[in-house]
Amino acid sequence: MDKDATQQTRAVRAGVDTDTQHGAVMPPVYLTSNFNFAAFDEPRLHDYTRTSNPTREALADALTELENGAGATITATGMGAITLVLQLLNRDDLVVAPLDCYGGTFRLLNAFAERGLLRVKLVDQTDHQATADALSGARMLWVETPTNPLLRIVDLEQMRELATAAGALMAVDNTFLSPALQRPFDFGADLVVHSTTKYLNGHSDVVGGAVVAATDELAEQMKWWANTLGLTGAPFDSFLTLRGIRTLFARMAIHEQNAMTLARLLEKHAAVARVFYPGLESHPGHALAGSQQRGYGGMLSFELTGAEAAARAFLEAVQLFTLAESLGGVESLACHPATMTHAALDQVSQKAAGISPGLVRLSVGIETGEDLVRDIRTGLAAAAAA
């Protein structure tokens, strides 16, 4: 490929025109569990699909290039990707994670901690001093930016400095933005994690994950653990995700355009106490997001003044926002974090993380913006009445 090609062009061309056997424009799907040996004691590049598969490797190569990393490992789920990264830790190693991290991440870290496999500290990573204090003796700094679901923006350069001072690895969950809008390796991350289920695939029809490493050594460790634990993704799932990546940049532009429109609408409505969207000038992380991101993304959250009753009324009134977990598909989704994505947190933990009963999270799709505005107005009217 042209060495001067943009990231968008690289995404569109991912895996295209690589079939040297038949000249297929789109890469084939290798639905085989095993591969024959060329001869006795002469294994080929691939021998068993759990270990490696051409279709999965095509996806890994695309993500490595888009993130500007050294190598990628494709996993069966996003949680599989997180589990993979945690294999770098030994018993009693300390992980410092965001106070309002994704509920599945919290559940896994908490479960591992209860079994004595590691130690966990949760901290508001927008607080420099609190993060520095928490990192004393830490082995890994787990970063989400924007965070899920409150979309706090974390200074990646600052996190790198703190991690380096503590001698800790820095892993960044880049699911919310994708490499189209943020590349954590540009700011010194050691590992970048994705739930490829979300924006990378973009169509809510496949589950998967990925870990991209900054160095060859880390990449090899990730591949070894994925093979050993059996966490690697299926070939057909990889094919679908690779297909989704080709429209990633085009989709993200519409996601963001619609999200910005809705955020401005919500910010002015009397039924809304607060809007969490980094694209708004009122967001405390707006300037930082503008400096380390290429856009503000399609995720937003807002807090209704009427607490849970208002949230229920809103979610029951909207028609174009499907009540469901997950995010990043072409269709718009709405969820109630306190009872859905972050239900694993007890009420004390939810309160500490800032997750209130009136909080609603939207994954804004690529439908016509005017239709989404009309639907949101209907929901807000119901919330106000409640």
Average pLDDT, the chain: 96
Last residue of one domain, picked from the residues 245, 267, 301: 245
Helix (H) or strand (E) holding 372: helix 369-385
Of 56, 139, 160, 198, the active-site residue reads 198
173 carries an active-site annotation: yes
Please check whether residues 159 and 17 belong to one and the same domain: yes
Residues 41 and 139 in one domain: yes
Percent of the chain with pLDDT over 90: 89
- Domain of 159, CATH number, reads 3.40.640.10
Judgement on whether residues 176 and 286 belong to the same structural domain of the protein: no
**Rounded (5°) CA angle 106-110-116:** 150
Tell me the pLDDT tens digit for each residue of 51-76. Answer: 999 999 999 999 999 999 999 999 99
- pLDDT grade, residue 21 (50/70/90)? confident
d(CA 211, CA 194) in angstroms, rounded, equals 6
Question: Is there a domain that residue 175 lies in?
Answer: yes
259 to each of 252, 253, 276, 332, 386, how far by Cα in Å? 10, 10, 11, 10, 25
Name the active-site residue from 124, 173, 190, 237.
Answer: 173
Based on the domain organization, do 20 and 77 belong to the same domain?
A: yes
- Taking the alpha carbons of 219, 221, 224, 227 in that order, is the dihedral positive or negative? negative
**Of 13, 50, 107, 274, which one is the catalytic site residue?**
50
Of 245, 273, 295, the position where a domain reaches its end is 245
Q: Tell whether the model's pLDDT for residue 129 goes beyond 90.
A: yes
For range 270-299, the mean pLDDT: 98
Residue that finishes a domain, picked among 221, 245, 269: 245
Q: Can you give the pLDDT at residue 353?
A: 80
Average pLDDT over residues 360-383: 98
> Tokens 């009324």 belong to which residue?
313
Indicate the number of domains in the chain.
2
> Rounded CA gap, 315 and 335, in Å?
8
Going by pLDDT thresholds of 50, 70 and 90, the confidence category of residue 350 is confident
pTM for the structure as a whole: 0.95
Residues 226 and 282 in one domain: no
Based on the domain organization, do 180 and 201 belong to the same domain? yes
Question: pLDDT tens digits, residue range 218-237?
Answer: 999 999 999 999 999 999 99
Predicted confidence at residue 349, as pLDDT, reads 83
| Cα separation values, 118 from 69, 86, 97, 193, Å | 27, 9, 12, 19
User: Exactly one of 30, 56, 100, 102 is catalytic; which is it?
Assistant: 102
Q: List the CATH number of the domain containing 265.
A: 3.90.1150.10
Whether residue 262 is predicted with pLDDT greater than 90 in this model: the reply is: yes
Residue-number span of the structural domain to which 290 is assigned = 248-385
Mean per-residue pLDDT for 257-277? 98
**Same domain membership, residue 197 and residue 150:** yes
Residue 191: inside a domain: yes
Q: Quick one: 17 and 129 in the same domain?
A: yes
Residue 126 located in a structural domain: yes
